[in-house]
Structure 1
Amino acid sequence: MSTNQTTCKNCEQPFDSDFSFCPNCGQKDKDELTLGVLFYNTITNYFSFDARFFKSFLPLLFMPGYIAKQFVEGKRLQYLHPAQMYLFVVVVFFFLFSFKANEQASEIDREIASAFESHQKKDSLSIKGKQVLKIINDSLDREEARDALKNTAIYTGMTKEQIDSLVDGENFNRDKYNFGLEGTELDSLIKINASDKDLYNAMGLKEGDGAFKKRLYGQALKFLKSKRGGSILQTFYDTIPIAMFIVLPLFALLLKLFYRKSGRYAHHLVFSFYFFAFIFTVFGLLVGINYITDIPDWIDTLIVFSIFFYLIIALKRFYQQGWFKSFFKGSLTTFLFIPIVSIVAVGVGFFAFMFY
C-alpha cells in the first residue's frame, strides 16, 4: 500500500493518495472544475438526476402506485425519493408553462385595455348624448319662456329687446349641467393626474379605515391606473407552487382518513408525492406537445380525466384493496378534494391581487 498522503480540499483531512475519493467526506480527489462538471453537479445535487430518475420515471407513468409501494416497503435506493421526484417534475413543468403564462398575461392586458377603451367610448357617447338632449330641452324652455313673456308684455310693459336679453342671458337657467361623470369620474381624475388622496375619496375610502381596506383600495387603484391584469395572473401562477405545499399534505390527510389502518401519515404522504408528480408530468407533457402542435380539446379533456382512473389503479395497488373499495374511496377523496382546491385557488387569487 502506498504511504504517500494527500489532503482533501473539502474537509482538509489526510488520506492515501492512491484513493480516488476522500474516505472522510467522499469528495473526489482530482476533480477539475469544468462546465461539464459544474452542470452535472448542479443537476445531481439539486435534482438527483441519475439512474434512479430513469428507473422511476417510466413506472411513475405506466405503473400507478408501484414505486410508492416499493418505497414504503423499504426499496428506497432504487427509486428517486418522492419529494425529489415531485420537486424536479414541478420545476420542469413551471419552466415550460412560464412561456404560456407570459402569453396569457399579455393577452389579458390587451383584453383589459380594449375593454376599458370601449367602456370609455361608450360613456363619452352617453355623456355627449345627454348634453345634446340638455341643450335641446333648454332651447325649448327658452322658446316657451320667450312666447310667454311676449304674450304678457302688454301687462308687464317689457320690450322685445328686454325679453330677448332676459331669455338669452346666462342667468336664464341656474341649474348646472349635472352630468356627474356618470361612472367616469375616477378615470377623469386619473387622466388629470389627481392626487391619490382625491382618488381614494372618489372611491369612498375614509381616513379612519383600517390597513386591510387601505391595502385593498390601493391595489384596486393600482389596477385602474395601469389597466393591466397580466401581472395579477402572473403572481397567481407564481404562488401555485407554494400553495401546493398546503394542498398536497391535505390530500394525504384525506387518504389517512379513508385508509386509517394502512400505515402512518408518512406513507400516505409518499403516495401523494408520487401521485402529484404524475399529475404535473402529464400537464408538462400536454404543455410541451401543445407548443409543437395543437392537440384537440377533446384529447386534452380525455387525458385530464384519465388522471382519475390512474388514481383508482394506484390506490388499488398501493393499499391492496379491491376494485370497488378503491373506486369508492378514490371517488370520495376526489369529491372532497375538489372543494379544497377551489378554496385554495380563491385564496391564491386574492393573495395575487393583494401583492401583485
Structure 2
Amino acid sequence: MKEKGRFLKKYRGNECLNCNVPLDVIDRYCHNCGQINTTKKLSFKDFFNEFFASIFSYDSRLRHTIVGLLFRPGMISKDYVEGKRIKYANPFRFYLSVSILFFIINGLFIDFDQVALQFNSDQKEAAEDAKRSKISAIEIQTGSPDTTKIAKNSSNEVYFSEAQLDTMGMFTAIRKRWKTYKSHYKTTGELVANTALDSLKHKQNTYTRYLYSRSIKTKNLSDNPMELLVFVFNKLPFIIFFFLPIFALMMWLLYIRKPFNYMEHLVFIFHTQTMFFILMGISILIDQISETEVASSIAMLVFLFYLYKAMRKFYQQGRAKTIVKFLLVNVLFFILAGIGSIITIIGSMFIF
C-alpha cells in the first residue's frame, strides 16, 4: 500500500501519543492501543481522506456480507462462528442497520389514513348490518315494522363504591374499578382524574388516578383502534429485537445435541433475520412500482426456502432432519409471534 499523508515515515514518532508506549519508525500503528503512529497535525485533507478510507473499508466488508447472505445461506454464519470474521460486517450491527432501513421503507409506503378510512367504513357497515338484524328480529317478535317502537338500550352507569371494592378480591376489585371508571367517563366525559374520583367518592392516589386515565385511553382506543396500530407499528423494531434472543433460545433447545453455544445460534438468527428484511424491503419497493403484491408473496416463499438451506448448511444435518426441524421452527415462530403480539397489545394499553 502506498504511504501518503499522515502515514509517511517522516511523521512517525518513537512514542505513541495516546498511551506513551515506545514505537519504532516501521510501526504504522501502536501495537498496544491501535492508534496511528504520526506526529503530523491533522489537516482538512487528512481528515476526509481517512473518513472515505473507512467508508470503503466498511464497504468491502459490506459487499462480502451481502454476497455471503444472498448466495451462501448458512455458510456466512458458519464462517463467522468458526472465527473467519475479518471480511464480514458484525452480524448485530449489520442487522440493526438493515432493520432500520427496512422499517423506514415500510413506513414510507404504509398509508395509515387509508387503512383508518377502510376500517371506519367496515365498522359503519357492520353497525348498519347489526341494526338491520335487530330491526328484523323485533319485527318477527312483534309483527310490526314500526322501528320507532324499538326501545333504546340505555346503558346504565356501572358504579361500585370504595366500600364495596374493599370487600372484593384484588383482581375482582381491579376489574370492577376499571368498569366503574370507564362507565363514568362514558356518561360524563370527564377527563380530569381527580375530579372524576371526587364525584365517585373514590380514593385519590397514584394508583386510582393511573387506572382512571388508562380506562379513558382504552375507551378511546376501542373507538379508534388505529391509534394503537400506529403505536405498535412504531415499536415493531424494538419488539422484534427483543424477540430474537428468545427465538435463539428455542433454536438452542432444538439443536441442543449440536456443539453450538447460545451466542452462535444468535449469530445465525441475526443473519437469517437480516436476509428476511433485505428480501422484504426489495419486494416492497417492487410492489410499489408494479402496484401489486406479487413480489412480497414471492419474497416470502424465497425466504422460507432460504431458511431451510441456511439451517441445513449451518447445522450440518441431513435433509429429513432439517425438514422436520424447519417445520418445528416455523410452528414455534408463529406461537411466539402470537404470544408476543398479545403481550405487546396488552402492554401497549398501559404505556401508550
Query: Quick check: TM above 0.5?
Result: yes
Select the residue among 107, 110, 123 that pairs with 2:117: 110
Q: Distance in 2 between matches of 1:199 and 1:110?
A: 35
SS in 2 for 1:26: coil
Q: Which runs of 5+ in 1 are unaligned?
A: 135-176
Alignment of 1:58-69 (within 5 A): 58-69=67-78
Q: Distance in 2 between matches of 1:214 and 1:33?
A: 62
The residue aligned with 2:212 is: 214
Give deviations 1:15-39, integer Å, cap 9, x for gaps: 99x9997645525853528997798
Q: Distance in 2 between matches of 1:37 and 1:113?
A: 56
Larger Rg: 1
Alignment of 1:324-339 (within 5 A): 324-339=320-335
Give deviations 1:33-79, integer Å, cap 9, x for gaps: 899779869978xxx84211111102202221010011111101111
Give deviations 1:113-147, integer Å, cap 9, x for gaps: 65788899999999xx999559xxxxxxxxxxxxx
Contact residue 86 and residue 273 of structure 1 kept, 8 A: yes
Amino acid at match of 1:73: E
Alignment of 1:252-263 (within 5 A): 252-263=248-259
Percent identity, aligned pairs only? 21
Give deviations 1:281-335, integer Å, cap 9, x for gaps: 11111222223222344x4323213322211111111111111111111111211
SS in 2 for 1:50: helix
Q: CA RMSD in A?
A: 4.8
Select the residue among 288, 298, 305 that pairs with 1:302: 298
Displacement of 1:180: 3.9
The residue aligned with 1:32 is: 44
TM (normalized to structure 2)?
A: 0.66
Q: Count residues with an aligned counterpart.
A: 298
Alignment of 1:44-55 (within 5 A): 49-55=58-64
Amino acid at match of 1:69: K
Q: Distance in 1 between matches of 2:11 and 2:277?
A: 54
The residue aligned with 1:344 is: 340
The 1:300–1:4 alpha-carbon spacing in structure 2 relative to 1, beyond 3 Å, is closer
The residue aligned with 1:288 is: 285
| More contact order relative to length (CA 8 Å, sep ≥ 6) | 1
Contact residue 73 and residue 310 of structure 2 kept, 8 A: yes
Q: Distance in 1 between matches of 2:62 and 2:212?
A: 49
Displacement of 1:262: 2.1
The 1:39–1:343 alpha-carbon spacing in structure 2 relative to 1, beyond 3 Å, is farther
The residue aligned with 1:316 is: 312
Quick check: 1:79 aligned with 2:79? no
Alignment of 1:156-175 (within 5 A): none
Amino acid at match of 2:285: G
The residue aligned with 2:137 is: none
Q: Which runs of 5+ in 2 are unaligned?
A: 1-8, 135-144, 158-182
Give deviations 1:243-301, integer Å, cap 9, x for gaps: 2233211222222112223221121111111111111111111222223222344x432
The 1:99–1:229 alpha-carbon spacing in structure 2 relative to 1, beyond 3 Å, is farther
The 1:281–1:200 alpha-carbon spacing in structure 2 relative to 1, beyond 3 Å, is farther
Contact residue 12 and residue 28 of structure 2 kept, 8 A: no
Range with greater deviation from structure 2 (31-40 or 303-312): 31-40
TM (normalized to structure 1)?
A: 0.65
The residue aligned with 1:278 is: 275
Select the residue among 100, 110, 113 that pairs with 1:91: 100
SS in 2 for 1:74: coil
Contact residue 14 and residue 22 of structure 2 kept, 8 A: yes
